[in-house]
Structure 1
Amino acid sequence: MNRYLLTEDKFEKFYDLYLYSFNRQDSEHRKNVFKERYDHSLSYGIMNGSKLGSGLFSIPFDVEFHGVNFKMNGIGDVMSAPEFGGQGGASTLMNNALEDMYQNQVTLSYLAPFSFGYYRQFGYEQVFDHTQITINNDNLPKVKSSSHGYVERLNIRDTPDSVKVLYSKQPHMGGLNRAQWWWDHMLDKHQDYKIALAYDDGNELIGYLIYYHQGETFFIQEWVNTNILSRQILSKFITKHQSIFQKFVYESPDPDFKADLFENPRIASLKVVPYMMARIVNLKDFIERYPIQKDNMKRICFKVEDTLEYNDHIWSLRINNGVVDLQITDDFKADFTLTIQTLTKAMFGYRNLNSLFESGYIEGDFDKVNKLNDIFVYDKPQLIDYF
């Protein structure tokens, strides 16, 4: 067992450090929600005398990446007490958490960075963006009423299981396969949220909208549609709040929001918001089970630079009739060299290898870089959840 893993009896110390480090006010609700996360996480910490000096969560999740499921641990609440800061406590915990992930057959890791530069030193890279769409109430598009379907409005705590089923059936490009405890945690944490359910004439759930409001602003947190009807009646539901709220904001997980589909694209203010980072923990597993886009590729050799020794090798890769042949070949000459961060960007579809080569992030044979580039997905990843 890792000596930095905390047991149940350290919860109060972990919670106290969290309150102080993030300047949060204690409340029964906050403590209960935090305890849910603690109970389902690997909690790491370093003691500083009788107090906890540093801590972080490593939260086990499953993600779906273009039809393939991978284990992923989310890093959260990385913190150090000010009197313990600068002593490498958080770095020690990060490295130990990554080592444990690899030993526990975890393939990927995500986190929300307070500093992109800080987490790049641990092999993480920016791959998830959101598009924030803001529309004033007098610019809301006109939506036709439908003679079919209807909307039911509920408090978030009354969310039916059919919503969870509908979410699970959506195609995911790196998003979470939400476990029951995570659904419970989300609903407990955001008790002020509401949900609008879209049904067709046969009373089948076809979409939903999770939202909340602050002052004169209507915020859309999550929006899932399965067909045109659900989009129409939920859009109409939103516009019916036009006289109540001055501003409407939707932070979409799709970084390519299609403003051109509006009758007047200028009605919306669009801003791309960098969201979360990702890391390949087990490169061999990720490549061998990756949703490759070509069935054949002649052998290439590439050097991956990584602080995780398991990935820091020259790799030989060949694809024959859809079968991936990946080997460590440190005695071979590499066709090109790249970091784990650069490879993460490309494999997640965030930015292609050709672009990264032209930007100076890859050194070596461009033709071989191009061959590897062709097997990766082209759609940018999407992630709704936050931890």
Structure 2
Amino acid sequence: MYIHEDEGNQGYIIYFLNGDKMFVREIFYKNINSLKSMLKFIYNHNTQCREVVISSPVNDKIRFILDNPKTSQIKIKPFMMGRIINLENYLKSLDINSNLNLDANVYIEDQFLSENNGVFNIKLNNNKLEVKKVDSDYDGYFTINTMTQLAFSYIDIEEALLINDRKENECSENVIKLFNAIFKKKKNYINEYI
């Protein structure tokens, strides 16, 4: 582990050497000076290592300060899987910070779990969701995979419509407003030590 700290610049890397490669398993920095210091530390190993592999969040800014990005490769490697097992209970467990009172019928397609497959009435009332399966027409349609991506904050409703090749008019305005209140896209970083 290398820790950098001086005059408010803080950061660390967790790394190991394997032959002529350096693997940086985790990198954290508070500002650009911390990052530059750690990159200098890595560079100082250039007599030992011909190649450096850095694992970092997909939104890491390291790619913007590399001197010669042509000699670098950026690969996105998803390593974690998640799935909503019980959609109704998952949605009911959420605390929503919104003063909206909305409801919509959403058809969820789940080819493996019948409890998650069907039309659900999702109602936002007093920062809580009420969810029940109904036998009714629906205002929008999503797969359980898309719902899981929304749940993990990986995408927002606009991206959900795009990747499912849905036009906004195929999904009611209530569904869009409701899902905007429930699901917020975030920059998540979960390392594999968990």
Quickly name the TM-score band, shorter chain normalised: 0.7 to 0.9
1:154-233 alignment runs, 5 A limit: 195-200=1-6, 206-228=10-32, 230-233=34-37
* CA-to-aligned-CA distance 1:158-183 (integer Å, 9 cap, x gap): xxxxxxxxxxxxxxxxxxxxxxxxxx
Q: Out of 301, 318, 322, which is 2:123 matched to? A: 318
Q: Out of 300, 303, 307, which is 2:107 matched to? A: 303
**Structure 1: 5+ residue stretches without partners:** 1-194
In the alignment, structure 1 residue 245 sits paired with structure 2 residue 52:
no
Name the structure 1 match of 2:59. 256
Instruction: Quote how far apart the aligned CAs of 1:239 are.
Output: 1.9
Contact 2:124 2:178 in 1 (8 A): no
In the alignment, structure 1 residue 341 sits paired with structure 2 residue 145:
yes
Q: Which one-letter code corresponds to 2:130 in the other structure?
A: L
Instruction: Quote how far apart the aligned CAs of 1:377 are.
Output: 1.6
TM-score computed with the length of structure 2 as normaliser: 0.76
Give me the whole-angstrom Cα distance separating, in 2, the residues matched to 1:326 and 1:361.
28
The alignment yields a C-alpha RMSD, in angstroms, of 3.2
Name the structure 2 match of 1:367. 173
Q: Out of 331, 350, 357, which is 2:135 matched to? A: 331
- Counting aligned pairs with the same residue, the percent is 26
Give me the whole-angstrom Cα distance separating, in 1, the residues matched to 2:132 and 2:151.
19
Give me the whole-angstrom Cα distance separating, in 2, the residues matched to 1:209 and 1:299.
47
Give me the whole-angstrom Cα distance separating, in 2, the residues matched to 1:337 and 1:291.
23
Q: Which one-letter code corresponds to 1:341 in the other structure?
A: N
Instruction: Quote how far apart the aligned CAs of 1:229 are.
Output: 5.3
Contact 1:317 1:324 in 2 (8 A): no
1:79-158 alignment runs, 5 A limit: none
Contact 2:4 2:11 in 1 (8 A): yes
CA distance 1:265–1:379, change in 2 (3 Å): farther
Give me the whole-angstrom Cα distance separating, in 1, the residues matched to 2:95 and 2:24.
31
Q: Which one-letter code corresponds to 1:272 in the other structure?
A: I
Give me the whole-angstrom Cα distance separating, in 1, the residues matched to 2:96 and 2:134.
24
CA distance 1:345–1:361, change in 2 (3 Å): farther
Q: Out of 265, 272, 275, which is 2:76 matched to? A: 272
Contact 1:199 1:206 in 2 (8 A): yes
Which structure: greater strand fraction?
Answer: 1
CA distance 1:215–1:327, change in 2 (3 Å): same
Contact 1:301 1:333 in 2 (8 A): yes
* CA-to-aligned-CA distance 1:113-145 (integer Å, 9 cap, x gap): xxxxxxxxxxxxxxxxxxxxxxxxxxxxxxxxx
Name the structure 2 match of 1:71. none
Contact 1:293 1:377 in 2 (8 A): no
SS at match of 1:385: coil
Contact 1:292 1:377 in 2 (8 A): no
Instruction: Quote how far apart the aligned CAs of 1:318 are.
Output: 2.9
Instruction: Quote how far apart the aligned CAs of 1:214 are.
Output: 1.9
SS at match of 2:82: strand
Give me the whole-angstrom Cα distance separating, in 2, the residues matched to 1:290 and 1:372.
13
CA distance 1:209–1:360, change in 2 (3 Å): closer
Instruction: Quote how far apart the aligned CAs of 1:362 are.
Output: 5.8
Contact 1:293 1:374 in 2 (8 A): no
**Structure 2: 5+ residue stretches without partners:** none
Give me the whole-angstrom Cα distance separating, in 1, the residues matched to 2:3 and 2:89.
39
SS at match of 1:272: coil
SS at match of 1:238: helix
Contact 1:354 1:369 in 2 (8 A): no
Instruction: Quote how far apart the aligned CAs of 1:244 are.
Output: 1.8
TM-score computed with the length of structure 1 as normaliser: 0.42
SS at match of 1:269: coil
